[in-house]
Each structure stands twice: as structure tokens, then as C-alpha cells.
Structure 1
């Protein structure tokens, strides 16, 4: 399964990073960081409307290389100037061609929060995210046990970050809720085989109490998709490949925001 390979690669990378920079030294780096003045991501999601999290991504296991030209900092700045309220940055190198330095440079350049998009399997990676400017981390229910989900989310919050707790199935949504997740991401992509079903997020959304903001992830391509999700009560959409392939990323983000705003402005029956 692809997910097993991703986790195995992450474990090997984690061991290498820990040998180069021990946890105690990494914690000292985090302690010396200046105060983060960026907006809190949970507060953003609690504002009215559907919020766009735009992703900087060069490759994926299912599609291979998505773009050959990859001016990652320019792309992130375009996203932010177009109104994206957070920027997701892939940091997994083997399958997604991601880098921690992408996260660091983008975080320094933008006034919106950044998400470290990776396969978080150890507290070390949470400190690493903080040290490189992230305001948000991803916790994938499928690769963590219940204790880890709760402890990793709490650690992120202690460090001034938020955690998106990502689920795909009904059982995973239940575990996310049990862990005390404050933000839930519903993935339309099955990480075991990378099959995408847009309707998965719509089905799983019904299982989440209305007071918890929910983000739809993967397979979001059109204004109609965004309008459907806005109408279903989602608070955010995470869009990667569609934006990365777009020739005019700014116009596409603005069209997504307009589609969501149109739904929001319609009077209720």
C-alpha cells in the first residue's frame, strides 16, 4: 500500500534528521523563536465563509511530476495575494519532492499561516514544523493511534499551532472526534490506493458536529465543486493539483472564492 511506503520513508527520514539535530537542540531552536504574529488558523476558520488553503506541491505518488517549473516562493506569494487564507507546503521529499526549506522560506515571506503537509509520526516533526515557521500541522488518523492523536494535537497547540486531524472513513471521523480534534479534514483521496471520490467529504461531513470546522481535501477542481462544499457547510477547501496546473493561479483562486461567496449570500429558505 502506498501509505505504508510513505510511513516507512518518513521513519527513515526522521531518523536521519534526529541524528543531524537531536531533539534537545531542536527544542532550543523553537524556544528562541520570536513571537508569531500571524492570524490563528482556527480563528480564520471560525469567520463566516469558505476559506481557501492553497497548496504548493511539485509531485505526488499518483501523478508523478505535476509541474516541471517550480518557483515555490513565487507560487505561494501568488496564492496569498489572490486571497488564500493559508498556504499548504509539502515537505515530504521522496514521493512529493517536498523540502523543509520550502516551508521555512514561504513561512517567512507570507503573512498568512502555513501548513506543514507531511506524515507526522513523531513529536520531533511537530517541533520541526514550528522551527520552520508552520502555523498548522497535519495529523492523519490512519497512521496514528488514539493517544498520539490527542498528544500531538495538544503539543501543536502548546507551541502556538493548530492541527488538522485528517480522516477518510466513518471510523476515522469517530476517532478524530474522540481525540478532541478542533479542526477536521475530510480527505476525498484514499491514501491506501490514492483513489479519489469527491462525494466522500460530503458523506463524512454529516458525522461531524456543526461547531467543529471541517475542511475538504483532494479532488476539488471546479467552481461547482467549491459551491457544493460551501453549500454543505464546509469551512475550508484544501486545493493542490488543480492550482498547481493552472496557468493563472490568482484568477482561479478568486473564482473559487466568488463561487463560495455566492452560495453564502443566498438567502435561506
Structure 2
């Protein structure tokens, strides 16, 4: 079993627990659920911006600990001051040391678009992303079937979120959904 398979297996269990604990109705009542989003695709194209999506993460499976005690507030503000066009906030706790609260905190201190970076394998996570203040979600082609990717992108767009699709191989191009605004 490779690392991606391990992450997805763990994510299935994690999402099932969250779905049992916090129903979609509660997510839809969140402060952020109906607030306007900031366009990731437009910010990346602005001539007065760098075009860089700066990432916040505390650890990774390949590098282990990066900075387990990093402050999302300080780091995200620093990224913005340095000219980042957008922020990517890791919300996967087990493998990357992130949490949903990191994205919510970044939202409170930054006006730029914020991408929820996680291993999205369930529609619940897209609704959850909207509820915690994300402007865009990452959909990883390697984690999803073509139809799933299309359906998830469509759901994200219906909620006002933009979609960044992550591709690693040319063979994944056939999965690309027309609903994706950004490809990486």
C-alpha cells in the first residue's frame, strides 16, 4: 500500500466520524457558509500580484515535522506581506498536522483567496470547506474517479467555491472537469 492509499483509507474513517458528529445542516448554518468568496482564479491573474499560492503545513509524510508549532496567523500574514496571491491551508491533521481551525484562523486575518488543501474523497468535505471559510478546494485527480471529480467540482461550484485540480500524470488529463478553474 503506497502513501496515497494509506492517506485515503485513513481519510475515509476520519470523514465518517466527522459526518456522524457534525451534520450537514450544522455546516450550512456556519458564519462563513453564505459569505462571498474571493476568486482564486482572478487573484492568480492579477498583474499586481505574484501568482503564487503560498502553503501552510506543519508536517508531511515525506519530510516528517516541518514546524509543528507554526502559527497559521503569523505565517499567513507573512505570506500576504511577501506578496502571495493566495493561501493554501492544509487541513489534514493525521499526515500534515493541519486542522479546519487553521483555515478559519487564516480567513480571519487575510483578505486573499484561501484554498482548502486536503484529500477530498467525499461531498461532505466540500460542504465543510465552505463552512470553514474556504474560497476554493483542491481536488486530486489521483484520488478520484473521473465521475467523482466532475461531481465534486460541480458541487463546489454550486456552493460558490472555485476548484483547483491537481494532476501528476498526463494520463490524468482525461479526468479533468470543465468545472475546474485552475489546474496544478
What TM-score do you get using the length of structure 1 for normalisation? 0.63
Deviation at 1:50, TM superposition (A): 5.2
Partners of 1:54 and 1:111 in 2: how far apart? 14
- Assess if the C-alpha contact under 8 Å between 2:58 and 2:98 holds in 1: yes
Tell me the residue number matched to 2:85.
85
Aligned to 2:43: 44
Supply the distance in 2 between the matched residues of 1:50 and 1:112 (Cα, whole angstroms).
Answer: 12
Gaps of 5+ in 1: 186-269
Equivalent-residue separation in structure 1 for 2:125 and 2:68 (angstroms): 28
In structure 2, what is the equivalent of residue 18 of structure 1?
A: 19
CA-to-aligned-CA distance 1:64-96 (integer Å, 9 cap, x gap): 001244122110111111111111111111111
Q: What is the CA deviation profile of residues 145-186 of structure 1, one whole-angstrom value per residue up to 9, with x for unaligned ones?
A: 11111111111111111110111011112321xx2133111x
Q: TM-score, normalised by structure 2?
A: 0.91
Q: Secondary structure at the match of 1:139?
A: strand
Q: CA deviation at 1:34?
A: 4.6
Give SS of 1:29's match: coil
Secondary structure in structure 1 of the residue aligned to 2:116: strand
Q: Do the aligned partners of residues 79 and 71 (structure 1) sit closer, same or farther apart at CA in structure 2, a change above 3 Å counting?
A: same
Q: Residues 185-205 of structure 1: CA distance to partner in whole angstroms, max 9, x if unpaired?
A: 1xxxxxxxxxxxxxxxxxxxx
The structure-2 alpha-carbon separation of the partners of 1:174 and 1:82, relative to structure 1 and needing over 3 Å to count, comes to same
SS at match of 2:174: helix
Q: Which residue of 1 aligns with 2:61?
A: 61
| SS in structure 1 of the partner of residue 30 of structure 2 | helix
Give the number of equivalent residue pairs.
181
Q: Distance in 1 between matches of 2:94 and 2:115?
A: 19
Residue 121 to residue 158, structure 1, CA distance change in 2 (3 Å): same
Distance in structure 2 (CA, Å) of the matches to 1:66 and 1:16: 27
1:31-50 deviation line (CA, Å, top 9, x unaligned): x74532x5311222343475
Pairing 1:166–2:178 present: no
Q: Offset of 1:126 from its aligned partner?
A: 0.4
Q: Secondary structure at the match of 1:51?
A: coil
Distance 1:68 1:47 in 2: 33
Q: Which residue of 2 aligns with 1:116?
A: 116
Distance between the aligned counterparts of 2:80 and 2:24, measured in 1?
32
Which structure has the bigger radius of gyration?
1
In structure 2, distance between residues paired with 1:79 and 1:43 = 18
Is residue 2:140 matched to residue 1:140? yes
Aligned to 1:182: 181
The CA distance in 1 between the partners of 2:81 and 2:50, in whole Å, is: 17
